[in-house]
Chain A
Amino acid sequence: MSAPMSTSPLREGMRGFLSRRNPFGRGKRESLDDLADRTIVSESERRRRGTRFGMSVTHVFLFVTLVIAGLGPILWLAKSAVTPTQDTIQQPFALWPNGIDWANLSTAWNDIHIDQYFWNTIVIALGAWFTQLFIATTAGYALSVLRPRYAPVLNALVLATLFIPGIVLLVPLYLTIVNPPFLGDVSLLNNYLAVWLPMGANAFNILLVKRFFDNLPREIFEAAKTDGAGPFRLFWAIVLPMSKPILGVVSVFAIIAAWKDYLWPMLVLPNPAVQPLSVRLPAVQSQTELDVFLAALAIATLIPIGMFLVFQSVFLRSAGLGGAVKG
């Protein structure tokens, strides 16, 4: 009980991952380089010649492997997006033997309507982001801070859905969208609500937010209540501003999940005019010339890669959370 260090390696690991910074006081940047106190190889071992050689080999191995596997396909895609079809097919690794074909990008953007699908994807992602954030924060606030008497029941019902894999919902959820209850003959097919709303029913997000709210200091809430803040003001002016880290994590999860989703939007958005990139790309492949198609793939990758480069730390933190704290 009093020795959390030894019994909760995951928690400690995440906490360290999130907050430990600059233990040696060198430099100001907060990066992974500064985190570890010590690892498997000790200081004295590092000074040995054999180990130093081993470390150099490790560096070379890591660098080469990760550049080839991580960056390689993206660079290849970027190159091929502006290469004529015949060059890509005959010499996939040659650097523009017959010149650069910038027109691929504009052809993809305009002629196969990537612009429209790109816009659809953004609308779907933003809607999914708003829905998930809205539901997760309001639910987390109700279950963690307000705690009405029925909260434990709701909490258990939400938690239970974590054990039900999404696949079991596929068919009944589809039929719910085709013929929603209480709406008469209205169908939600081809309506973005059909993508947004089911994504809001995400127990993992609620759990993540609730756990974060659970750890916020209660004294601040009490003080705010004493100062006359009602539940809405407490939510908007105190709890949400204090929860930016977890809101960032949920946002990344939500946007990336929406951008990645394939099967569900394919089922509920049968009209090509409203489909996102992920659904349209496989569909247009057969009628599109290879160079233009690769340009389209490159365009579809831009936003996720850009987001990753800008919000790298949030992404990597979310990745750690996804495995370690879930459940």
Chain B
Amino acid sequence: MTATLPERPAPAAVPPPAAPPARRKTSRSPLTWYRGGGLANLLFVLPMVFVFVFFSWSPIVQSVVMSLQKTNMIVSEWVGIDNYVAVLTDPELGRAVINTIYFALLALLFGFPLPLLMAVLMSEVRRGKGLYSALAYLPVVIPPVVAVLLWKFFYSADPNGVFNTVLAWVGIPPQPWIQSTVQAMPSLVLEATWAAAGGSIIIYLAALLSVPPELYDAAEVDGASIWRKVWHVTLPQLRGILFIMLILQVIATAQVFLEPFLFTGGGPAGATKTILLYIYDKAFRNSLGGDYGEATAVSVLLAVVLAILSWLYFKLTNRWSTQ
């Protein structure tokens, strides 16, 4: 009994030495706050907080709110998930989703192997690498609107059109390109691939430099040929960056707008109407004020899918770059 008494104050006495430093920080006077650089901190943080509050954080919240409302700029009323039900049962959205997936698949088919091949070849040549990189990157520098308008002329269905002239050289009859429901989407993807390939090539070139040379030496000791080295050393070493590029490309193609909007306006017969075009039409096509509720409902759904992909991408890059 007497042995427990002296022990009781002890646990109570232990916390105080640890607590005061923490508490002293929270109850600083304005003067110490100022002397400690609090005002300077605030001034440096303020511009970022200002733009993010007004142009990022609050629009994100508003987006979710608006997707649950019917609004005509003046009054808004809550309608629950009506907007979501309306767009999800709209066959046009289904069409737009299929078109977008088709665009993404074609973009992977055209735009994935070719830059990799070019980068591998470019990394092997001894001279002219700088020139080749610059040439490969040039299309990326051309403003996208200029590129699309230029290609729109290239895609002229006239037998004297630029691409049809080239086809005629090798004996292929003139093609309708973007005027045909079948060829329109591949034509858009071809232009988009041309416009983006340079960026991928540069990224692959940088990744190729990071393959440890010892691995090639080791493969050679085992008698590996050039092709076997590509297959068993280079490609496995690049699989991280390949996966990242895959996710990045899917995220980008899911939001494709410029090409379908400027090339075809979603036509012919809705063959190139993508999700973003659908959102744009809902929100902005009608100049008297669009159906913002349904437009944001689609945006939110798309954002959720893309956010999952971005998160995956972030996890991967973080693991590969900080471990």
Contacts and interface: CB of A to CB of B under 8 A. Distances in A.
A13 B206 contact: yes
Interface string B243-271: 01100100100110110011000000000
Contacts of A138: 44-45, 47-48
A188 B25 CA distance: 42
A141 B135 contact: no
Given A33-B126, A300-B143, A62 B207 contact: no
Given A65-B118, A172-B62, A308-B141, A9 B210 contact: yes
Contact of B59 (A17, A172, A316): A172
A69 B210 contact: no
Given A134-B47, A146-B37, A163-B310, A201 B56 contact: yes
Given A40-B123, A297-B149, 17 more contacts: A33-B126, A33-B129, A40-B234, A58-B121, A59-B128, A73-B150, A74-B138, A77-B150, A89-B160, A161-B60, A167-B255, A168-B303, A171-B296, A262-B145, A262-B258, A278-B145, A324-B241
A21 interface: no
Given A167-B279, A198-B55, A267-B284, A154 B303 contact: no
Nearest to A154: B45
A36 B212 CA distance: 11
A97 interface: no
Interface stretch (A98-106, A215-223, A227-235): A227-235
Contact of B144 (A17, A70, A77, A260): A260
Interface in A136-194: 138-139, 141-142, 146, 148-150, 154, 157-158, 161-176, 179-181
B159 to A, nearest CB: 10
B139 interface: yes
8 contacts: A13-B209, A33-B127, A33-B129, A40-B233, A158-B52, A164-B56, A171-B292, A327-B318
Interface in A73-90: 73-74, 76-77, 89-90
B41 interface: yes
Given A172-B62, A176-B59, A235-B44, A297 B202 contact: no
B144 A165 contact: no
B289 to A, nearest CB: 10
A233 B205 CA distance: 40
B208 interface: yes
Interface string A193-231: 000011011010010000000000000000000000011
B306 interface: yes
Contact of B209 (A35, A65, A67, A323): A35
Contact-residue size bin, chain B (C-beta under 8 Å from the other chain): 35 or more
Interface in A240-299: 256, 259-260, 262-263, 267, 277-279, 281-282, 285, 290, 293-294, 297
Interface of B: 25, 37-38, 40-42, 44-45, 47-49, 51-52, 54-60, 62-63, 66, 73, 118, 120-130, 132-147, 149-151, 153-154, 158, 160-162, 165, 194, 197-200, 202-203, 205-213, 216-217, 220, 226, 229-230, 233-234, 237, 240-241, 244-245, 248, 251, 254-255, 257-258, 261-262, 276, 279-280, 283-284, 292, 295-296, 299-300, 302-303, 306-307, 310-311, 313-314, 317-318, 320-323
